[in-house]
A and B are shown apart, each in its own frame.
Chain A
Amino acid sequence: MNAGLLTPATERFLKGAAGVLVLVALWQASVPLVGLEPYFYPSPADVWHAFVELMEKGILPVYLVDSLYRYLLGVGLGIVLGIAAGLLIGLSATASRILTPLINFLFAIVEVAWIPIFVIWFGYGFKTILIALVYVVLFPLLYNTLLGVRTVPQVYVNAARSLGATRLQLIKDVILPAALPNIITGLRVGAGFAFRGLIFAEIIAAKTGIGYLIFEGASTQQTARTIVGMIVMGLLWLFLDRCYLKPIERVTIERWGQVTTAEDRE
């Protein structure tokens, strides 16, 4: 539409921003119509004040850093363990026979069910949240890595072996890259699960963090704070998705021709 004036990226951003502005305007307009107490239905202005207050007192930055730290560490550990376990089970028949029933059994016990017992073992706070996150990330990484390893085209393996690859070289240069699209799928799923898991774990088992802010705001009738927490949560996910997940996908899968999106090509 604005051909020549704006880059496609700017145009996309402006359209997205317009949607948000309309939503906020509708919200503000609805406050007098609803006519309820601010703690029951706070206005955008109330939320803005709460945000400023949380920033000035230094609460929000600390919570944000805490949440981000727990998230990145939990996801990072979960990714490493999940890929390692997926490779082990995918490449060793013995490991597969021993571990598969156990893994399937554990998969059925959702992390929410573990949190109370983690709290008993590790107390409230960092350790419990970290373990819960690792647990959540582990399974999608493991299952997708396994799927990737098991579906590596045999001809690639044969080609590498007749070029003289050792077992380690085979894993590094053939099996891992061939499984990468699946691993990235696992990473996306795991990253999303972990984000929900983080907020949930912080509600139950933390005294800081975005999840705690959301829960604490509501239980002390500072509803505007809860909404600040929810908005930050949404923004945080957008940020992670944009700056971390999307680029990984782009440099790997799209470049090999598995996915070709015309607008993203160099």
Chain B
Amino acid sequence: MTTTQTTDTKIRLDAVRLEYVKEEGRSRHLAVESISLDIRDKEFLVVVGPSGCGKSTLISAIAGFLKPTGGHITMDGREITRPGADRGVVFQEYALLPWKRVIDNVALGLKFKGVPKAERYATARRFLAITNLADAEQKFPHELSGGMKQRAAVARTLANAPEVMLMDEPFAAVDAQTRMTLQEELVRVWEQARLTVLFVTHSVEEAVFLGDRVVVLTPGPGRIKSIVDVSIPRARRNWQEMNQDPEFIRLRDEVLVQVRGQPVAA
């Protein structure tokens, strides 16, 4: 269950324990009991688990918003202590700044880095094109549909060139068709960007469709139940093929059993 350190480990979780401590009542809520996991460099790792098992909490900890109360989280061997531009986050609620136009949202990280305006707009436009948002660059976030907001959020994270992208159920709030399109787009975009992705979801299908590996968590407080390798080639990762792919169906059912404890007819 515990993976051993390899040379290409990007982020290492070592017996990580995550608790919400309430200052006044001195009460603690255990969200993640003990997780040890190596996220490999440039892999697409999906964490799947039921609601409340600590997925968002885990993302917060790796992003640096929350300190572990036990164990260590390291990136390239260095302890993570605070948020940083090396770890981009795509939030479930999009978190686009409503007072900035789409292009300014996407260029925000580059602005923080001090990149000149013309240059950061050029980069932002490149990622808006990749995410099919070229026509929306002058809009404000409230003028976008849910799927467009989600793509803008992905574009904003990618434009900042992070080493790791942390995605917290990014497609949970959109309709089924849009979700499938976004998943296919993400596969394509990730192949171009080639960065490490940690993707969190409670959808087993989504997990197997996207991931190189799928980590299944137990119901909260979260622990790792199993890790499933998905070796379906990237070229086959579109819904038309995947829906009939026996390998996909087999792996999906396998993960489903892990998550729910019983097989479900395909």
Q: Which residues of A contact B (CB under 8 A)?
A: 155-156, 158-166, 169, 173-174, 177-178, 180, 252, 255-258
Contact = CB atoms under 8 A, between A and B. Distances in A.
Interface stretch (B11-19, B91-99, B175-183, B225-233): B91-99
Given A156-B95, A256-B98, 9 more contacts: A158-B83, A159-B91, A160-B97, A160-B112, A161-B65, A163-B160, A164-B113, A164-B160, A173-B108
A47 B100 CA distance: 51
Contact of A255 (B83, B85, B140): B140
A260 to B, nearest CB: 9
A160 B108 contact: yes
A162 B93 CA distance: 15
A155 B93 CA distance: 8
B97 A155 contact: no
A163 B124 CA distance: 14
Given A155-B95, A158-B83, A158-B91, A164 B112 contact: yes
Nearest to A176: B99
A163 B107 CA distance: 10
A257 B65 CA distance: 28
Interface of B: 60, 63-65, 82-85, 87-89, 91, 93, 95, 97-100, 108-109, 111-113, 140-143, 156-157, 160
B97 A156 contact: yes
Contacts of A159: 89, 91, 95, 97
Contacts of A252: 99
A235 B65 CA distance: 52
A174 B88 CA distance: 17
Given A164-B112, A255-B140, A158 B98 contact: no
A169 B111 CA distance: 9
A158 B87 CA distance: 12
Contacts of B87: 162
A163 B93 contact: no
24 contacts: A156-B97, A158-B60, A158-B65, A159-B91, A160-B108, A160-B112, A161-B64, A161-B82, A162-B64, A162-B83, A163-B85, A163-B109, A163-B160, A164-B84, A164-B112, A166-B112, A169-B112, A173-B111, A173-B112, A177-B100, A256-B99, A256-B140, A257-B140, A257-B142
A161 B83 contact: yes
* A173, A178, A252 pick with most chain B CB within 10 angstroms: A173
A162 B108 CA distance: 11
A258 B97 CA distance: 12
A63 B137 CA distance: 50
Contacts of B83: 158, 161-162
Contacts of A158: 60, 63, 65, 83, 89, 91, 95
B85 A164 contact: yes
Contacts of B111: 173
Nearest to B91: A155
Contacts of A162: 63-64, 83-85, 87-89
A40 B11 CA distance: 85
Contacts of A255: 140
Nearest to B142: A257
> 9 shortest A-B CB distances, which residue pairs?
A164-B85, A257-B142, A163-B109, A161-B83, A159-B95, A162-B83, A177-B99, A155-B95, A162-B89
Contacts of A177: 97, 99-100
A178 B95 CA distance: 12
A184 to B, nearest CB: 12
B85 A174 contact: no
A173 B85 contact: no
A165 B95 contact: no
* A159, A173, A255 pick with most chain B CB within 10 angstroms: A159
A252 B140 CA distance: 12
Nearest to B60: A158
Contacts of A160: 97, 108, 112
Contacts of B85: 162-164
A177 B157 CA distance: 21
A179 to B, nearest CB: 11
A163 B112 contact: yes
Nearest to B63: A162
B95 A180 contact: no
A22 to B, nearest CB: 42
Contacts of B64: 161-162
A180 B97 CA distance: 13
A72 B99 CA distance: 28
